[in-house]
Amino acid sequence: MLAPLPSVEAYRRDAVSIEDGAGLDDAVTAAWLESATRLERAAMTRGSERERLLSGLLAQHGVVTFPASQISTTALVSAVMSMASDMEDQALFRMAHSVLSTVLIILPENEHLLRGRVIAQQGRLARHLGDLGASARYYEEVGRLGSEQNVAELEGRAWIGFGILAQLRGDFPEARRRFHAVLELPGAASESVAIAHHQLLIAAASARDYDTAATHAWKAFQGASSSTQETEALLNLAQLLLDAGHARAALRGFAAALARKPISRLELPILGGAACAAAAALPTPAARALVRNFGERLDVLVTSLRDGKSLPWPSTSSLVELSEALAVVGDEDRSCRMADRALAMATSHGFHQLTYRLENPVHVAQPAPIAESTSAIIAAVDELEGAELVGAAG
């Protein structure tokens, strides 16, 4: 398990990787720190004082409590987990882990379902921080709670965690087994089912089974429990359509994802993919204008992330894609500048796969045959908000 840190120290360590607070709203950060401090004080006290502090915390998050009533543990956990997810989206992983550790101190031991949900989120945070051993131990605890208390939701959350860890270590058969098991598990949380579809679409796309991948992507989108999950599903659907050579459909998918105002971790690959799709799908004059627009947005975003240091892989990868798109539309000078910038970052971080791609640019393939079910999914994407912004492409 990860050692819990006081919230202020956790924030300090997280903020080291964020230049001048790039991407963070000072007021939001201050509110998070205030909430975290209230939660820590509540964990150190009992009785009416704890109730008062927790009522103040919930009020910050729009939950009204009544003087004569006891604080709802479900409402408390929901508020804290939502706040931790927002912190996670801003790469404040240690701070998110801190507030989750604190709420576990307050939660009664017999609140098995709520405790399991919190611990599963801690497992994800440990994975983001690169401590895969700690992540596995969190998921083992979630699985134990689910098995002993006969709570299918917790078993499903544990299986998702183990599946992703198996994928990270290259054990793809085990990963697929875990994800399929979640899809067949009665009582699995809708969030777990959506994540299983998301992971299986990646596996199917790697095998060039585009129809199966598209089906999983669309089910992941339909089952998403947050805007971020919706955006990630659309990003993956658009990327697999681009890989399948359907650039116009991919461009509309990227546009729909971009319209959801994605977090930086997702905006980077959306902009890079959209540039490649536009270059392949549109007549040269229109493509050049759109690629430059995506490129300017990408340049500002990467610069704000300490020249990509805060999110090195997606920053470098998106610049590689932009350099390819600029070359396709005939903007060789900009293409070379982006390629040089990406090469410096790839060399610095040891991203040999991206260095190889710079030497061997990827080109959009000829359209692969697709099933009627995939054509229906493409038509459904066309109806999403944002897709119409590039409607002329299709």
Percentage of residues in the chain with pLDDT exceeding 70?
95
Question: Which range, 20-24, 146-150, 207-211, 344-348, is most confident?
Answer: 146-150
Residue 4: CB atoms within 10 Å: 17
Q: How far is CA 58 from CA 44, 50, 63, 160, in A?
A: 17, 12, 5, 30
Task: Determine which of 14-18, 60-64, 246-250 has the lowest per-residue pLDDT on average.
Answer: 14-18
d(CA 370, CA 325): 25
Whether the predicted pLDDT of 394 surpasses 50: no
Q: What is the pLDDT of residue 310?
A: 77
Give the confidence band of 20 by pLDDT, cuts at 50, 70, 90: very low
Give the confidence band of 66 by pLDDT, cuts at 50, 70, 90: low
Tell me the per-residue pLDDT of 73-117, one tens digit each, with 9 for 90 and over.
Answer: 999 999 999 999 999 988 899 999 999 999 999 999 999 999 999
Selection from 156, 68, 51, 151 nearest residue 110 by Cα? 151
d(CA 278, CA 287): 5
Query: Alpha helices of the chain — where are they, by DSSP H?
Result: 7-15, 26-43, 47-60, 73-89, 93-106, 112-128, 132-149, 152-168, 172-183, 190-206, 210-222, 227-243, 247-258, 264-281, 284-304, 312-328, 332-349, 352-359, 372-382
Q: What is the pLDDT of residue 198?
A: 87
Whether the predicted pLDDT of 68 surpasses 70: no
Q: What is the pLDDT of residue 392?
A: 47
Whether the predicted pLDDT of 194 surpasses 80: yes
Categorise residue 5: left if φ over 0, alpha if ψ from -120 to 50, beta otherwise: beta
CA atoms within 13 A on the CB side of 62: 3
Q: What tokens were used for 113?
A: 């379902």
Q: What is the pLDDT of residue 19?
A: 52
Would you say 216 and 200 are in contact if contact means Cβ atoms under 8 Å apart?
A: yes
What's the sign of the alpha-carbon dihedral 257, 259, 264, 268?
A: positive
What is the identity of the amino acid at 74? T
Whether the predicted pLDDT of 178 surpasses 70: yes
d(CA 93, CA 87): 7
Tell me the per-residue pLDDT of 208-260, one tens digit each, with 9 for 90 and over.
Answer: 899 999 999 999 998 888 888 899 999 999 999 999 999 999 999 999 999 99
Task: Determine which of 19-28, 174-183, 326-335, 365-374 has the lowest per-residue pLDDT on average.
Answer: 19-28
Give the confidence band of 170 by pLDDT, cuts at 50, 70, 90: confident
Give the confidence band of 177 by pLDDT, cuts at 50, 70, 90: very high
Task: Determine which of 70-74, 249-253, 305-309 has the lowest per-residue pLDDT on average.
Answer: 305-309
- Write down the pTM of the prediction: 0.76
Task: Determine which of 47-51, 221-225, 293-297 has the lowest per-residue pLDDT on average.
Answer: 221-225
Residue 304 CB burial class (10 angstroms; 0-12, 13-18, ≥19)? middle
